[in-house]
Amino acid sequence: MGLDMHLTAKRYIWRHHEEAIVEAVKSLNLAKPHYRPKQIEYEAAYWRKANHIHGWFVRNVQGGVDDCNEYGVGTHDLEKLLAVCKKVMLEHDLAHELLPTGEGFFFGSTAYDEGYFEDVQYTIDVLELIVSDEDAKLLDFHYQSSW
């Protein structure tokens, strides 16, 4: 039990893409003749008990509402989070101001320790890949947490 956080990337499948997707799915033995695929979903990032990253999404994407619903995230949002994470890694003293920890039901540690900075570095690594990927512009990103 605890705070699980998912960043997913989704792509709607247009009719002209459908045949290729159906053929690919057939190879997995999952195709059903009466079902048509609508979208492809990828896991772009996963965090566990990174309450400081979760708090950023709640404040900057979810309008301050922490309700475990799925929220759309623009690539501009991901670029902002990336910039914040980079600042925190350059100046650890800014962590409590720019990316504060937060308490919650099994949300993990609120210390600014090695685990905190490992989560920040992981976030940088993942977001750098996303924002530098030209194909990411074709995807819709979503954040959702559960606890």
pLDDT digits (tens, 9 = 90+) for 120-146: 999 999 999 999 999 888 899 999 999
Residue 125 is predicted with a pLDDT of 98
Instruction: Name the percent of the chain lying above pLDDT 70.
Output: 84
**Amino acid letter, 145:** S
Residue 15 is predicted with a pLDDT of 62
Quick check: 83 pLDDT over 80? yes
Task: Give the contacts of 50 (CB within 8 A, at least 6 positions apart).
Answer: 3, 5, 108, 119, 123
Rounded Cα distance, 75 and 34, in Å: 35
pTM (two decimals): 0.87
pLDDT band at residue 95 using 50, 70 and 90 as cut-offs = very high
How much is the mean pLDDT over the chain? 90
Of the chain, the end-to-end C-alpha distance in Å amounts to: 7
pLDDT digits (tens, 9 = 90+) for 17-49: 666 666 666 666 665 666 666 788 999 999 999
Residue 88 is predicted with a pLDDT of 98
Rounded Cα distance, 38 and 15, in Å: 9
Contact 11, 140 (CB under 8 A): yes
